[in-house]
């Protein structure tokens, strides 16, 4: 169910266009070892959708042909993909900066005991979901026992050099609010995280990203069931900040789904709002834009598909895959 679809028509969100393409964000599949309340992908252990090997090869070809700077791997738990390591090794060999959006508990799963070592050896940047520094809040949002496993995962990464002063291994954490509210100011919250995690668990990290929950999929359905969906959408709209438009992630990124189709962002992907089919040489095709269509095609200057959920990225301090867009 796409929870925001009733509000997508006749949006008054400003029209924006693309800049140069620098980042390929690839969803390797919806299978995950967790089922988080805030998950906008509706991922979980029972999901079976996973990218095939032909599309993995296309990702690598696009990275090479387009000279993409960043490969941002997401899911589900992207590490569950059988070709995760092959993809990472090949991308790093090209000099591409690779980001792994890690839920931390995957580092403790049977069969993945060497995953943290692999990430460190390849110099992969880790962006780890850690919605709070307290056990009660994390387990409420992500499941019982997740907090303790997350702490163990962070300690393992720290032991390998992640997040340590003067280390090239980057470890960033992600905060999501518990319910239908905007995240607090990112800088102050980061200070709280660093103080509490260091004090109680001797954990260090580089930066905290405070992300706004998007009212789609599992989180959107929860809002509808509690009767707070409309109020949350009004909050996002009323908190709109025009200055955030210049830095929204969709300007320089393309989101790729597990079948290889293209979207302006991961949220549009979940709402089945594909990249506009306006590239002349493929305009006659009876399908959405695909990875193979990116070969040698410049999409800079193309219109971005916008809808009411885009207010989530521009509300307050702003929100992107790289955290707040500006300080409050």
Q: Is the pLDDT of residue 325 over 90?
A: no
The pTM of this model reads 0.88
Percent of the chain with pLDDT over 70: 83
Number of Cα atoms under 13 Å in the Cβ half of residue 82:
6
Residues 272 and 2: beta-carbon distance below 8 Å: yes
Q: Is the pLDDT of residue 92 over 50?
A: yes
Q: Is the pLDDT of residue 119 over 50?
A: yes
Q: Is the pLDDT of residue 63 over 70?
A: yes
The per-residue pLDDT for range 31-50, each reduced to its tens digit, is 887 655 555 566 667 787 89
The chain-wide mean pLDDT, for the chain, equals 85
Per-residue pLDDT, 319: 53
Q: Is the pLDDT of residue 142 over 80?
A: no
**Band of the pLDDT at 172, cuts 50, 70, 90?**
very high
**Band of the pLDDT at 148, cuts 50, 70, 90?**
confident
Per-residue pLDDT, 178: 74
**Band of the pLDDT at 171, cuts 50, 70, 90?**
very high
Residue ranges per structural domain of the chain: 5-314
**In the predicted model, what is the mean pLDDT of residues 162-174?**
96
The per-residue pLDDT for range 222-270, each reduced to its tens digit, is 888 889 898 999 999 999 889 888 889 899 999 999 999 999 998 898 8
Q: Is the pLDDT of residue 5 over 50?
A: no
Q: Output the CA–CA distances (angstroms, integers) from residue 221 to 42, 170, 216, 242, in the order listed.
A: 10, 34, 7, 28
Q: Under CATH, which number does the domain 5-314 receive?
A: 3.20.20
């Amino acid at each position: 169910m796409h929870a925001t679809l009733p509000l997508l028509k006749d949006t008054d969100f400003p029209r924006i266009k693309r800049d140069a393409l620098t980042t390929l964000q690839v969803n390797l599949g919806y299978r995950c070892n967790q089922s988080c309340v805030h998950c906008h992908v509706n991922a979980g252990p029972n999901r079976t959708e996973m990218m095939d090997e032909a599309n993995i090869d296309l990702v690598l070809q696009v990275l090479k042909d387009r000279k993409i700077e960043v490969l941002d791997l997401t899911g589900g738990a992207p590490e569950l993909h059988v070709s995760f390591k092959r993809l990472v090794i090949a991308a790093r060999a090209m000099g591409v900066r690779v980001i792994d959006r890690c839920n931390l508990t995957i580092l403790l799963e049977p069969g993945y005991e060497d995953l943290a070592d692999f990430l460190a050896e390849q110099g992969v940047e880790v962006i780890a979901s850690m919605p709070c520094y307290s056990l009660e809040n994390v387990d409420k949002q992500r499941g019982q026992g997740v907090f303790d496993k997350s702490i163990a995962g962070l300690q393992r990464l720290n032991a390998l050099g992640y997040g340590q002063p003067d280390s090239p291994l980057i470890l960033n954490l992600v905060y999501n609010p518990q319910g239908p509210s905007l995240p607090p100011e990112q800088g102050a919250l980061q200070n709280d995280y660093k103080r509490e995690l260091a004090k109680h668990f001797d954990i260090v990290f580089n930066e905290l990203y405070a992300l706004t929950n998007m009212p789609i999929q599992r989180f959107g359905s929860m809002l509808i069931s509690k009767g707070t969906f409309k109020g949350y959408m009004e909050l996002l709209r009323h908190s709109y900040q025009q200055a955030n438009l210049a830095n929204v992630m969709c300007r320089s990124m393309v989101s790729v789904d597990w079948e290889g189709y293209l979207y302006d962002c991961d949220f549009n992907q979940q709402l089945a709002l594909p990249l506009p089919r306006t590239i002349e040489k493929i305009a006659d095709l009876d399908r959405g834009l695909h990875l193979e269509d990116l070969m040698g095609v410049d999409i800079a200057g193309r219109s971005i598909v916008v809808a009411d959920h885009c207010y989530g990225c521009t509300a307050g301090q702003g929100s992107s895959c790289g955290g707040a867009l500006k300080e409050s």
